[in-house]
Amino acid sequence: MEQQQKKKSILSGIQPTGVFTLGNYIGAVKNWAPMQDEFDCAYMIADLHAITVRQDPKVFKQQILSCYALLLSCGIDPEKSIVFIQSQNKNHAQLSWVLSCYTQFGELSRMTQFKDKSAKHADNVNAGLFTYPSLMAADILLYQADLVPVGADQTQHLELTRNIANRFNGIYGNVFKIPEGYVPKAGAKIMSLADPTKKMSKSDENPNACILILDEKDQIIKKFKRAVTDSEMEVCYREGKDGINNLMTIYGAVTGKSMDEITAEFAGKGYGDFKVAVGEAVADHLRPVREEYARLMADKAYLESCYRKGAELSERISRRTLEKVMKKVGFIL
């Protein structure tokens, strides 16, 4: 009998910064559940990364738990994947320190995210903000991940991770697997409902600009009714119709319909009908996520059993790599 080919391993991390937007969901999170059948997945709540920015401890604790529950609500299965909270596995911080001694100052100072975030948080340009790419390298290399999903803003970090791994391997032999970037099947890019030339963001000052995946049905429909469109009345996808193009993209993402099918469905109907239809389709699509999230948040014991199991599994798998590294460097174990 032919031996089954071993699945490739993949690691994804998400910072616990509150509820996902519809943009996060359609663009990325929605695609994570199907990945579990194709790969050996590890999903991490990157809470250590989040403290480069000051956090309110009570809110932060709640957001970590909420983010964990949200991942499960979106179809991440703790029986299929390792789903864990980064700070509960001390191997991350330990390997991070070792790797920071194999990361060059010049490499870190070239990171564009450091420059951007320093400008944004000028009153708190801390050392963690500077060195967190070494922690990110530790996150990836601990699991000997084959693949790391990367967006445009993460390619530089992955390149640095590969450089660190190659440098370490060059000195000590073949310790780390060199990870490749993985571009997931692109979910659509979702724009703001108030200004369709900008990406949807929860930091938008206009509360109607952004749909959060836990918004109630009434809220969702109300926000779509207020969505910016244009002065024409034809539902069709073409240049110059940014607002309608965005609504059609959203409708297509949640219904699976093509742009031509959507155009045919709304031929002769006004924008008002179309906006309500989009709102209802989105609310219906997100209802199972909202319901599962409410159920999980009401069952703290189950959530705890999942994240404790995730911590144990992640610790066990990553310990092998960490011990190999410590021995190679010369530490007494």
Burial of 17 (0-12, 13-18, 19+ CB in 10 A): middle
| Annotation marks residue 58 as catalytic | no
Who contacts 96 (Cβ-Cβ below 8 Å, separation ≥6)?
131, 134, 135, 137, 138
Active-site residue identified among 30, 117, 241, 275: 117
| Annotation marks residue 61 as catalytic | no
Question: Residue length, the chain?
Answer: 333
CB 11 within 8 A of CB 142: no
Active-site residue identified among 8, 80, 177, 199: 199
| Annotation marks residue 241 as catalytic | no
Active-site residue identified among 80, 202, 309, 324: 202
Structure tokens at 19: 């509820």
Residue 173: count of CB within 10 angstroms of its CB: 9
* Strand positions, DSSP E, the chain: 9-14, 40-45, 82-85, 147-149, 180-182
Catalytic residues: 117, 199, 202
